[in-house]
Structure formats: structure tokens, C-alpha cells
Amino acid sequence: MKRKFIKMVIVLLITSMISVNFSAVEYSDVLTTHWAYDAVQYMQEHGYMVGSSSGEFLPKEEVTYFDMAEILARATGYQDEKINMNIKEQFKAEIKLNYEKKLPIINEYVYKYKVWQNSSNKEIAYLLGKRYLHNSELDNFVKTDIVGNQMAAFLKKEDLAVILVRILGKEQTAQAIYMPGSFTDELQIDAYKRPHVAYLKSLGIVVGNGKGKFGAGEAVTRSIMAQMTSDVLKLMPIVPIIPVEHAPIEIIDQGVSSSEIKYEGKKAIVNKLIPKNETEYYIVLEFKDENKTTFYSIDNNIIILNLYEEKMNVEDIQIGSEAEIIFDPKNETINIIKIQREKQNQEEHIETVKGNMLKVIKNQQEYILSMMVQEKQKEYIIGLDLEVLRNNKITDLLSCKFGDEITLKLQGNKITSVTANSTLKNISGKIQAINIKYKPELVVVIGETRQTFAVTPTTKIYDNKLDEEITVNELKLYSKITIQAESNEILKLTVEEYGTKLIYKGIIDTIEEDRTTMDILIEYDIMTNNRLFIKPVNIASETLVSIDGEQSHSEELKEGMEVLITYKSYEDLIPKEVIALN
């Protein structure tokens, strides 16, 4: 009864969010000192989780898989047309079509389990359509005891980890870089879930207890659900509350016949072969022509041919072999793997990879190095015992800095050499963006280019105007600064001048009926380096308007006029003056 009531409260609150701001709620059982206080506030403020009518969040209450489906569907963009009447017709049709497609799958479990909660079916269909949830995982939703009684099952931590990694879009990465040993109870986690748990650990989203245990098989409480989910949502490149029509549900199958399928072969190198379960494997393929690495799930039902066109088993594929991969474009699955060249002797070929370091993570087994290589982010596994030569001195990988130039030597799939070089930089520019996180980052405009710099605990920040040291939180956008940096880590930052007035030149594209808002086609933005883009401008009563050199008012502005728009400071939302040039 409690759970149904909580869902009803969520429905009512989400309904109210359409027209008013969703203000923060203080729960009587989640004080400001509670370890998950910030996460609970985040989930409540966004409408993803709320408490009971008595003002309690119930942080220790265990979450069912049905609860999980409702929470994660909302958090990733699902909207109910009965609640939000303003859903775009295209998105509404997309949700409806996806639900009709997934309903037969869900109905198999409705008939199978008498306690199935049909009220969650639309959210479950949404997660299936987004491929965050797989069909076979629906059996997890209901538990049957030894005498045949059925009940809604409580969500396991490792199952939540799997879905959250999919939401991040990092399942392939997690599988590709996985190495065992993240937790002492890892063997109690199903084999195919271990990479997901390890990946979340590398991000700091899950940690072990005092004995290094993850807590395999433990049920997720509402506080843990809030903490893990909010941590993941904050990492996503697109904020989840952005309307989901910008992140469509999977393309609906329109019934392509097998005679219409065209097969495409691609050249690839087999990087890894990881057992998924007793019959399936994950295969990691490097497509050199496309400069990307991707993993797929395969089993012995697909056709695998050796050099002599003879059929072979998955487990007989040699790591490092070159192969032609033939896909079925209807569902992007592998149909045929044709081995064209067996693994080369590692001594025959040494590959050199160059890039710039983004970050490095150390676990019990190895380093995970993230680099920007030819404008693409790539990750490499490096042994803990491998020495690094940085600026001609022997050190370890943790001594390298953000932006260091890294050169890797690879024999086969093994990295045998790491060389790093830093560059001392003295630059001047303007702050375009400030990203506050564990290691804050600044985006700085230098001429017509932009660079990202990291602020470390040892960075000294000095304000020339105040003649004193300040913190990164006190920096202001568009300030003129000078930076001394090693690679892209700031050693010293000096604020020379705060942003003053900002001037745009453009042409009035459209004017709203109330004459207070207009869209301007801007020629150039010095701060973002963007050209020819539409910028909404709000005209207030205090905004000065001049036409033909004489004072006027906004009612006299017309579409097609060329204008100069002046803001008193970079942070202002209302322009100080609008001057019509013709």
C-alpha cells in the first residue's frame, strides 16, 4: 500500500512541475548530516524520487525492480501523456509505438507471474526500448520461494550497476577494459555483471566496505538508489531532464523482409574474447578503417570460418587475428566472422600511439589510461610494474599531468613502453566556462581557439584587482586571466580584469508579439567563437533603443534591421542598449 501511495504522490508532484518550480523538501528521516542527503535532495528536486505523505523519505526501505523501472524511466526522460499534456505529438507517438512493440514481451511475464505490477509496464517498455533493460532481465522482477509463493523481488546492487552503466553509454568500454580484482566478493557477482561493477568503482560511484566487499546480492535501499543514480546522472553529457525527443527510443522495426537485407563486411582485429556465460561471449573488435573499438555479444550460433573456410568455434578464435566481420544491418548483429590472418608474432610489429592524457585510474591490477588520440577519447590498460619515462626521468603513470603528450609502444595488445612529456605554458585569455568538480576545469578562450585547463589543490589563484589570493569558486566568467601551466594543469592563475561590456552585431530575425523578445542572427561571438547563430534577446523597459541616431523604443524595431546590442557586463541577461544601424 505504501509503495502505491508513493507513486501516486510522484504523479501529483510531476503534474505540478509542468506549471510551477519543484521546490526542495526536507525529510524528517534524512537530516543534513545523512550520508545521502545531497543525493536525496537531487532526486527529489528533479521529481525522480519523493517520500511519503507523512514527510519521510524512507531511506532504509528496499527498492523493488518495479520501483527501479519507474525511477530510472523518469530519470532518463520518460513522460506520461496523462500527466504532461504538453508532450510533442512526435514523441508521444514514439512512446506509444514503442509500448505496442514491447507489450507482447511484457505480457509473457504478466501471464507468468500473478504478482506482476502492470502499473509499471509503460516505464518497463520505455527502458526496454532504450536498451537500458534487456528482455531476459525481466525474470529478475519477481521472486518465487521454495513453496511456490510469488513476490516482487528486491533490486540487487549489481543489477542496478549494469543498468546505470548502460545509461552512461559505457557498457562496451566497461567490458573492453575490465580486469578482475575490484572487490573481494567479486566471484559472487554473475560474470557478465562484473565489468559494470568494476567500471562504476573506477568512477567512484561504488566503493567497498572495510573488508573490500562490494555487497554482492544485497538489496538496494532507497538511499543507495538515490546516491548511485544521482552520481550517474551528474556524469551524463546531456542533463536527463532535457526532453527525451532529443534522445529517441530505439528505431521501431517496420518489418523488413530477409530478401531486403544487404550484408556489409568490415575489416577488424580481435582485441579480446570475454566469456559472458556458458554459451555466450563478448568479442572486442578494433575497426582500423573507422578508428574505433566496439564489442558485441556472440555465441556458436553465428558462422565463424577459419583461414581454410572451415567452421570453427568461438573459443578457438585467436586474440590479435584479423577478420572480416559481416553484419546484418537490420539489427546490427554479427552474422559471419571470417578469419583472414592469424595472430602475428608480437616481435614482428610494434605500433606507436600518440595522444594527450585526459586522466588515469589505478586499481589493484593495473592503470586505466584515458587519452585523446586524433580527436577521439581512447582507453588503454597498463601494468603497474611498467616504468614511465616523463621528461627524461623514470616515474610512474600517476605522476603524469592532464594534457601531457603521451607516446605508447604496443606489441600486439600489450603496452611495452610509455613516454610522457610536459610543456610549460604562459598564456592569456578569457574564461568561457567553469566546471566545478573533484578537479575543477576552466575553458579558456585564447584568440580564436579554446583550451581546457585543470585546477589542482596546489594551483595558486591571485586577483590583481583585490591584491589577494582567491579560490576557484570566486572566479567569474569572461574575466581576463594569465595562466602559468605545466601541460594543461594550472600552476598559477592571475585575474587581470573582470569582464566589462559585451557587444553583438546582428540582424533581427523575428520579433514576438509582446515586443519584449526577439531572435537576433548574430555575426560573431568572441567568447564562444561561434558565427551566424540565433540568439534570443529580451528587451526591458530600461533598455535604451536608438534608431537613425535618435532615441526611440522597442515598438519601432522591425525584422530585418541591422543592430548593435550592448550588455553592460558579460553576466547581464538584459541589454543596456540596442542601436539600429539602418
What are the tens digits of pLDDT across the range 352-376?
Answer: 899 999 988 887 778 889 899 888 8
Per-residue model confidence (pLDDT) at position 344: 54
- pLDDT of 445 > 90? The answer is no
What are the tens digits of pLDDT across the range 226-242?
Answer: 999 999 988 875 333 33
Between 207-211, 340-344, 550-554, the lowest mean confidence (pLDDT) is in: 340-344
Confidence of residue 349 (pLDDT cuts 50, 70, 90): low
Residue 542 corresponds to which cell in the numbers above?
530600461
Per-residue model confidence (pLDDT) at position 411: 78
* Count of Cβ atoms closer than 10 Å to residue 381 Cβ: 16
Confidence of residue 377 (pLDDT cuts 50, 70, 90): confident
* Count of Cβ atoms closer than 10 Å to residue 463 Cβ: 19
Residue type, 130: K
Rounded (10°) CA dihedral 327, 331, 333, 337: -20
Question: Cα dihedral sign for 121, 122, 123, 124?
Answer: positive
Residues 6+ apart with CB under 8 A from 417: 386, 389, 407, 408, 409
- Write down the CATH number for the domain with range 424-497: 2.40.50.140
Mean pLDDT, range 62-80, rounded to an integer: 92
Q: Tell me which fold the domain 502-580 belongs to.
A: OB fold (Dihydrolipoamide Acetyltransferase, E2P) (2.40.50)
Per-residue model confidence (pLDDT) at position 27: 83
Mean pLDDT, range 59-73, rounded to an integer: 94
Mean pLDDT, range 14-39, rounded to an integer: 68
Q: What is the DSSP string of 63-81?
A: PBHHHHHHHHHHHTT---T
Mean pLDDT, range 415-433, rounded to an integer: 90
Evaluate whether 424-497 and 502-580 have a shared fold. yes
* Helix (H) and strand (E) counts in the chain: 9, 28
- Measured N-to-C along each axis, helices 89-112 and 121-129 cross at an angle, to the nearest 10 degrees, of 110
pTM over 0.75: no
* Count of Cβ atoms closer than 10 Å to residue 177 Cβ: 22
Three-class secondary structure of residue 249 per DSSP:
coil
Mean pLDDT, range 322-326, rounded to an integer: 87
- Measured N-to-C along each axis, helices 222-235 and 157-168 cross at an angle, to the nearest 10 degrees, of 20
Residue type, 348: E
Which of 511, 513, 516 has the alpha carbon at shortest distance from 561? 511
CA distance 232 to 432: 25
Mean pLDDT, range 392-411, rounded to an integer: 90
Between 21-30, 148-157, 287-296, the lowest mean confidence (pLDDT) is in: 21-30
C-beta of residue 393 within 8 angstroms of C-beta of residue 386:
no
CA distance 398 to 396: 6
CA distance 222 to 219: 10
Determine what percent of the chain is predicted with pLDDT higher than 70.
85
The residue ranking higher by pLDDT, 19 or 236, is: 236
Mean pLDDT, range 71-83, rounded to an integer: 83
What are the tens digits of pLDDT across the range 90-147?
Answer: 778 888 888 888 999 999 999 999 999 999 999 999 999 888 999 889 999 999 888 8
C-beta of residue 369 within 8 angstroms of C-beta of residue 406:
yes
Per-residue model confidence (pLDDT) at position 162: 94
Most confident of 18-22, 339-343, 418-422: 418-422
The per-residue pLDDT of the chain, averaged, comes to 81
Domain ranges of the chain: 64-154, 157-218, 260-343, 347-421, 424-497, 502-580
Confidence of residue 486 (pLDDT cuts 50, 70, 90): very high
Superfamily (CATH) of domain 347-421: Nucleic acid-binding proteins (2.40.50.140)
Confidence of residue 346 (pLDDT cuts 50, 70, 90): very low
Per-residue model confidence (pLDDT) at position 332: 67
The single residue listed with the C-alpha cell 585546477 is 455
CA distances from residue 332 to 162, 166, 483, 570 in whole angstroms, order as listed: 21, 17, 48, 48
* Bridge partners, residue 441, by sequence: 435, 454
What's the chain's Rg over C-alpha atoms?
A: 28
Between 81-90, 199-208, 392-401, 467-476, the lowest mean confidence (pLDDT) is in: 81-90
* Bridge partners, residue 154, by sequence: 64
- pLDDT of 156 > 70? The answer is yes
- pLDDT of 63 > 60? The answer is yes
The residue ranking higher by pLDDT, 275 or 550, is: 550
CA distance 125 to 99: 6
Three-class secondary structure of residue 574 per DSSP:
coil
Per-residue model confidence (pLDDT) at position 331: 59
Determine what percent of the chain is predicted with pLDDT higher than 90.
26
CA distance 247 to 46: 18
Q: Taking CA 498 as the corner, what is the angle to CA 497 and CA 501, rounded to the nearest 5 degrees?
A: 115
Residues 6+ apart with CB under 8 A from 279: 299, 300
Confidence of residue 497 (pLDDT cuts 50, 70, 90): confident
- pLDDT of 84 > 70? The answer is no
Mean pLDDT, range 507-532, rounded to an integer: 81
Between 296-300, 428-432, 528-532, 550-554, the lowest mean confidence (pLDDT) is in: 528-532
Q: Which CATH class is domain 260-343?
A: mainly beta
CA distance 205 to 229: 9
CA distance 175 to 320: 17
Burial class (CB in 10 A: 0-12, 13-18, 19+), 311: exposed
